[in-house]
Amino acid sequence: MRLTSIVAGVVAAIATLSADVHAQDITMATFGGGVEKVWETAFAQPFARSTGATVKIVPVPSPEAQLRNPASRSQYNVALVTYPQAANLLRDGLIETFASADLPAAAATDQKYLMKAPDGRLAGASPYFMYYGIAINTTQAKKSDFTSWSNLADPKWKGKIALTRPIYLSSYDLPMLAIAQGGSEKDIGPGVDLLKRIAPNALTQYSSIAHMNGLLTRGEVAAGSYYSGRVWQMRHEGVKDVDMVIPREGALMIPYIVVVPKGAKNLPVVKKWLDFISTAPPQVQALELGGYFPLNRDARMPAELEKDMGFTLKELLPKLHQPDWAVISAADKDRTNLAEQILAGAK
């Protein structure tokens, strides 16, 4: 009888310990195409070493969609999303917000790069940004071929340009093309006109990061609007014939944010995770691995990386446009429909 009680006690203790360990675990949805590798190496692994908590990084086509689907929302404690997506999730009441005291490391990020709810609470943690410029295959085109965004409309590139899906055309391309033509994220008319001239040159719409990576590395397209981080990561991995161009009108700054779905479990560990990714050291490693530019003001770009990229952070920032993401997210549906019509009309 005594032995049975002892065994039962040991089993219960092991079960309790196991539950405590798993209570430390959190699951994060990210984009694929190599994004998950950077998050595992630069963020999750050092966080585990520091805290003992495990962060499982899960690549999905659309982290935002996972949070909007009640069936999948409960699978994730956190998700990496774009600023327009976060603005929509915040508006729809689908994500948690946090007091500044919950994420003390966020104080080292310029306030203009932090997304906040109307009451001033943080919508999540903003670890880095990429810029949206023109990616090229250097065997098919030169950087000097794309000194302006309007060069994408040159008839000589017919069948050699890749465009993204309408949902991203509406958020990124239309505002940037509008700015390049004298408009803004509020006045996208000039951007619509330019997109109508670019669309006939498109060989295809890339459906994912992996798809565009392949189009570029195989030389199936000469150029296309794309994310700087994806190109710098390919170069870091040894791909030689891809590069990024910032046209004279500038490029679009795209900050990313890690958000927490309403009702997520393990909030104490989640807060530690959000605070950790707001610090400089993992952000610098993400820069080295994936070309993601840190938002923590204490982060420094390594000299070797400055040489490879051809600029410093101080030189880069004035070339980037930071639009009003609330304006972009509010017009998302109508502009996505407009982009679909433009692409359909170009076929």
CA end-to-end distance (rounded Å), the chain:
80
- Give the architecture (CATH level 2) of 130-253+321-346: 3-Layer(aba) Sandwich (3.40)
Give CA–CA dist 318/336, Å, rounded.
29
> Which is nearest to 194 in space by CA: 346, 83, 328, 326?
346
- What DSSP letter does each residue of 145-205 carry, written as one string? GGSSGGGGG-GGGTT-EEE--HHHIIIIIHHHHHHHTT--SS--HHHHHHHHHHGGGEEEE
The predicted structure's pLDDT at residue 14 = 34
User: How many percent of the chain have pLDDT more than 90?
Assistant: 83
Q: What angle do CA 92, 98, 103 make, to 5 degrees?
A: 140
Extents of the domains making up the chain? 2-127+255-310, 130-253+321-346
Q: Is the pLDDT of residue 122 over 70?
A: yes
User: How many percent of the chain have pLDDT more than 70?
Assistant: 93
| 281-297 residue pLDDT tens | 999 999 999 899 999 99
Mean pLDDT of 214-238: 94
More confident residue, 11 or 167: 167
| 315-328 residue pLDDT tens | 999 999 999 998 99
Average pLDDT, the chain: 92
Q: Which residues pair with 259 in a beta bridge?
A: 79
Mean pLDDT of 184-195: 98
Any idea of the CA torsion for 237, 243, 249, 252, to the nearest 10 degrees? -20
Give CA–CA dist 105/283, Å, rounded.
12
The predicted structure's pLDDT at residue 233 = 87
- What DSSP letter does each residue of 90-121 carry, written as one string? HHTT-B--B-GGG-GGGGGB-GGGS-B-TTS-
Q: Is the pLDDT of residue 181 over 70?
A: yes
Q: Is the pLDDT of residue 217 over 60?
A: yes
| 253-312 residue pLDDT tens | 999 999 999 999 999 999 999 999 999 999 999 999 989 999 999 999 999 889 888 899
The predicted structure's pLDDT at residue 172 = 96
Give CA–CA dist 126/106, Å, rounded.
8
Q: Is the pLDDT of residue 174 over 70?
A: yes
| 143-158 residue pLDDT tens | 999 999 999 999 999 9
Mean pLDDT of 13-31: 62
Q: Is the pLDDT of residue 248 over 60?
A: yes
Equal CATH topology for 2-127+255-310 and 130-253+321-346: yes
Q: Is the pLDDT of residue 23 over 70?
A: no
> Which is nearest to 24 in space by CA: 51, 57, 58?
51
pTM of the model: 0.84
The predicted structure's pLDDT at residue 305 = 87
**Residue 236's pLDDT band (cuts 50, 70, 90):** confident
Q: Which of 113-127, 141-155, 183-197, 223-237 has the lowest mean pLDDT?
A: 223-237
Question: In the structure encoding, which two tokens stand for residue 106, read together?
Answer: 């966020």
CATH 3.40.190.10 fits 2-127+255-310, yes or no: yes
